[in-house]
Amino acid sequence: MPRDLITITKTYNHFHFCCGLGGGKKGFNRAKPQVGNMAATLRCIGGIDVDPAAIRDFDRAGPGRPGTVMDLFTRAQYIAFHGKEPPAGWREATAEDIRRAAGNESPNIVFISSPCKGASGLLSETLSKTAKYQALNELTLRCIWLMAEAWADNPVDLIVFENVPRLATRGRHLLDQIIQLLQQFGYAVAESKHDCGVLGGLAQSRKRLLLVARHMQKVPPFLYEPHKKQLRAVGDILGRMPFPGDEAGGPMHRIPRLQWKTWLRLALVEAGSDWRSLNRLQVEDGYLRDYIIVPDMHNDALGVRKWDSHSGTVTGNGRPATGAFSVADPRHFGPAKHSNECRVGEWTEPAKVVSGAHGTGQCVADPRFDSGTYDCGQYGLCGWDQTMGAIINVKSPGQGTFAVQDPRPPSGPLFSKYAVTRWEKNTGTVIGGDDQGAYAVADPRSAINNRTKGDAYLTGGHYGIVPWEGQSGAVSAAAGYDNGRWSVADPRIDAAPLLPAQDEKTIAIIRALDGTWHRPFTTLELAALQSLIDPDEHWSTDPQIQMEINERNRRLGVSLCLDGTSDSAHRERIGNAVPPLAAEAIGEVMGITLLLAAAGETFMLSSVPIWVQPVAMALSVAQGTNGQIALA
């Protein structure tokens, strides 16, 4: 619709429980709902989280009232989760505390993103049932109750509650109580599952449970689902960012330092697969049968240049071990000048020239050793069933037959140090010395290769490699290289260093089997996949535009780093965040519904499904200033 038709502007307030670093806030602030000649802006009136660092990030996520550090646990829940009494001065949050955190204003929209670890698939079923994680799950109901009590006299118009899909099974009893509580306060409630990647057009698939509630008396219009978008490729996002390690990306754009053996595992995982593809590799005696890991030839150390190729730069330290300072010379003109070196002459052939260098080829293959004329027994070896020679005064192995061929095998319970007993054999006697016998066993039972349904790690995607043109999985709060698909098959390959020790932590560039660099996502790349940053807002290939971007970001105080210096803390907050683009899509449809309610409309023409509905959809139109009908 032309902008000149927009004559009415409204402002709606939004508030956030368990707000984290402010992904929901940022997305709602960006939403620009419009219906006919009416438009709305969404204004943040605060948020609550227990993590002070998250609140500092929340305050930098965009305009609005500062967030509040507040623990929403009850005392019983605090003790169950932390295993101890709260510190002195701690008290349970009240409805008055919630109103104060919102500046004593009433929100039109409340967004609740309570902790999801207790229902996450990364947590085993057994741990999820412990008192600690049950207390964490109970925060879902606790947040709803505090919200309803805080604004009981002026109910919130629209509520959206998001969590992991598995909460519908692991926390079913809590969801049922939440729905009943909301219905008692006059809400129509819809429980659905959505892919935030599809809602926001992200480069990750992030399936979430969304519980949406509409206060039926205050908001008669239906709430429609956001429009679906196409998932994007990982490379669409990462390809617009600086190469990992570039200082333009800041401290959060570092490649994690992994152990060398972990890099090897990543290199051998097939793109689009995970750690289970390693089971297809053939291992014999602890070594890969079909592959050998060697330094990349482009590193040049100990390299041999071809005859028809050019040499590298001749440096001041040009030794064979420091570069490609050797050559495969095809020119051969017969025997070398010093052909006697390390040479044994035949008995039937003449010797070479006797030279002054006594270390040259002055050796002969003498056939007369068994003639009986040379019987000193030098380096002799006596058979087990033979008698030895006389014991003389010089008793070294070089002076006689003082060695014997012993047929008795050296194995046995007293001599089998560091031996490994086969699974089907019996062990030797257990004695007091724990390093004196075969006290190790070759156990064929592999826990890794026998994962079964129900195992928390079966579908965790460990050591998973995401193809460059594919989509990432949901960025979780524990996004590590070994607990999900947090590595990418990066086609932008560079030279690799020499091989480090197995357990040495390093940053490696390994050309994988598919010709790409399998590496972990940087922390900043995870933030980009979550749409917490837009690469185009920070980097450009045009130097002039880049200067303008740098100046704008400096003026606005825009930072590419979250609060603190801990990568693990950053990754946890990023994984817990609501993708702003998904929140923006939800904020758009909520704003449209509130505009319809303000205009007295109850229906809207739309091809998308109704999110919260008691009946079918119908029609809503807005009258333009020129008298024409404008469809929403």
Instruction: Give the per-residue pLDDT at 90.
Output: 95
Which domains are delineated in the chain?
A: 3-239+549-631 (3.40.50.150), 372-386+393-402 (no CATH)
pLDDT band of 450, cuts 50, 70, 90: low
* Three-state SS letters, 207-268: EEEEEEEEECCCCCCCEECCCCCCCCCHHHHHCCCCCCCCHHHCHHHCCCCEEHHHHHHHHH
Asked if the model's pLDDT at residue 475 lies above 80, the reply is: yes
Instruction: Give the per-residue pLDDT at 509.
Output: 79
Asked if the model's pLDDT at residue 112 lies above 90, the reply is: yes
Residues in the chain: 632
- Please check whether residue 481 is in contact with residue 257, taking contact to mean a CB–CB distance below 8 angstroms: no
Q: How many CB atoms lie within 10 A of CB 395?
A: 9
CA dihedral 86, 89, 94, 99 (to 10 degrees): -130
What DSSP element (H or E) covers 75? helix 75-82
> What is the rounded distance in angstroms from the CA atom of residue 255 to the CA atom of residue 527?
14
Reported as a single tens digit per residue, the pLDDT across 524-566 is 999 999 999 999 999 988 888 988 888 888 887 778 899 999 9
Specify which of 333-347, 449-463, 472-486, 609-623 reaches the highest per-range mean pLDDT. Answer: 472-486
Instruction: Give the per-residue pLDDT at 625.
Output: 35
Weakest-pLDDT range from 24-38, 123-137, 352-366: 352-366
> What is the rounded distance in angstroms from the CA atom of residue 120 to the CA atom of residue 478?
10
Find the distance separating the first CA and the last CA of the chain, reported in whole Å: 9
- Please check whether residue 613 is in contact with residue 216, taking contact to mean a CB–CB distance below 8 angstroms: no
Q: What is the mean pLDDT of the chain?
A: 78
Q: Which amino acid is at 458?
A: L
Specify which of 227-236, 347-356, 432-441 reaches the highest per-range mean pLDDT. Answer: 227-236
Specify which of 142-151, 165-174, 303-312, 395-404 reaches the highest per-range mean pLDDT. Answer: 142-151
Q: Which amino acid is at 297?
A: M
- Please check whether residue 345 is in contact with residue 361, taking contact to mean a CB–CB distance below 8 angstroms: yes
> What is the rounded distance in angstroms from the CA atom of residue 594 to the CA atom of residue 160?
14
- Annotate 432-470 with b (16+ C-beta within 10 A) or e (fewer): eeeebbbbeeeeeeeeeeebeeeebeeebbbbbbbbbeb
Reported as a single tens digit per residue, the pLDDT across 401-411 is 667 777 766 55
Q: How many CB atoms lie within 10 A of CB 347?
A: 10
* Three-state SS letters, 112-150: ECCCCHHHCCCCCHHHHCCHHHHHHHCHHHHHHHHHHHH
Interval 296-321 mean pLDDT: 47
Which pairs count as long-range contacts for 565-571, CB under 8 Å and 24+ apart, including other chains?
565/251, 567/252, 567/254, 567/256, 567/523, 569/53, 570/252, 570/523, 571/477, 571/478, 571/479, 571/480, 571/523, 571/526
Spacing of C-alpha 266 from chain mean position? 12
Give the sign of the dihedral formed by CA 384, CA 388, CA 393, CA 398: negative
Instruction: Give the per-residue pLDDT at 483.
Output: 77
Instruction: Give the per-residue pLDDT at 433.
Output: 59
Interval 87-106 mean pLDDT: 96
Structure-token pair, residue 316: 């001041």
Residues 6+ apart with CB under 8 A from 40: 9, 10, 11, 12, 32, 33, 34, 591, 594, 595
Closest to 216 measured CA to CA, from 612, 610, 591, 604: 612
Instruction: Give the per-residue pLDDT at 308.
Output: 47
316 by Cβ neighbours in 10 Å (0-12 / 13-18 / 19+) ranks as: exposed
Weakest-pLDDT range from 230-244, 256-270, 494-508: 494-508
Interval 489-500 mean pLDDT: 69
pLDDT band of 354, cuts 50, 70, 90: low
> What is the rounded distance in angstroms from the CA atom of residue 266 to the CA atom of residue 469?
18
Q: pLDDT over 70 for what percent of the chain?
A: 71
Instruction: Give the per-residue pLDDT at 631.
Output: 29
Q: Which amino acid is at 361?
A: G
> What is the rounded distance in angstroms from the CA atom of residue 486 to the CA atom of residue 466?
7
Closest to 561 measured CA to CA, from 149, 253, 350, 313: 253
Closest to 139 measured CA to CA, from 105, 183, 93: 93
Asked if the model's pLDDT at residue 143 lies above 90, the reply is: yes
- Determine phi and psi for 227, rounding to 5 degrees: -65, 145
pLDDT band of 150, cuts 50, 70, 90: very high
> What is the rounded distance in angstroms from the CA atom of residue 200 to the CA atom of residue 589?
13
Q: Which amino acid is at 479?
A: A
For the chain, helix (H) and strand (E) counts, in that order, are 16, 23
Instruction: Give the per-residue pLDDT at 328.
Output: 52
Instruction: Give the per-residue pLDDT at 622.
Output: 31
Residues 6+ apart with CB under 8 A from 118: 128, 133, 134, 136, 137, 170, 171
Rg (Cα) of the chain, in Å, rounded? 37
Asked if the model's pLDDT at residue 148 lies above 50, the reply is: yes
346 by Cβ neighbours in 10 Å (0-12 / 13-18 / 19+) ranks as: exposed
Instruction: Give the per-residue pLDDT at 47.
Output: 97
Alpha helical stretches, state H, 443-579: 523-529, 543-556, 567-576
Instruction: Give the per-residue pLDDT at 353.
Output: 52
Closest to 133 measured CA to CA, from 171, 91, 162: 171
Distances in Å between the Cα of 245 and the Cα atoms of 256, 276, 524, 579, 608 are 10, 29, 11, 24, 43
> What is the rounded distance in angstroms from the CA atom of residue 487 to the CA atom of residue 502?
20
Instruction: Give the per-residue pLDDT at 437.
Output: 60
User: Token pair 């087990």 is at which residue?
Assistant: 384
Asked if the model's pLDDT at residue 200 lies above 70, the reply is: yes
Strand locations in 18-151 (E): 34-35, 38-49, 68-69, 109-112
> What is the rounded distance in angstroms from the CA atom of residue 535 to the CA atom of residue 237?
7
Running DSSP on this structure, what letter comes out for residue 325?
A: -
pLDDT band of 514, cuts 50, 70, 90: confident
Q: How many CB atoms lie within 10 A of CB 107?
A: 24
Reported as a single tens digit per residue, the pLDDT across 75-86 is 999 999 999 999
> What is the rounded distance in angstroms from the CA atom of residue 485 to the CA atom of residue 617?
41
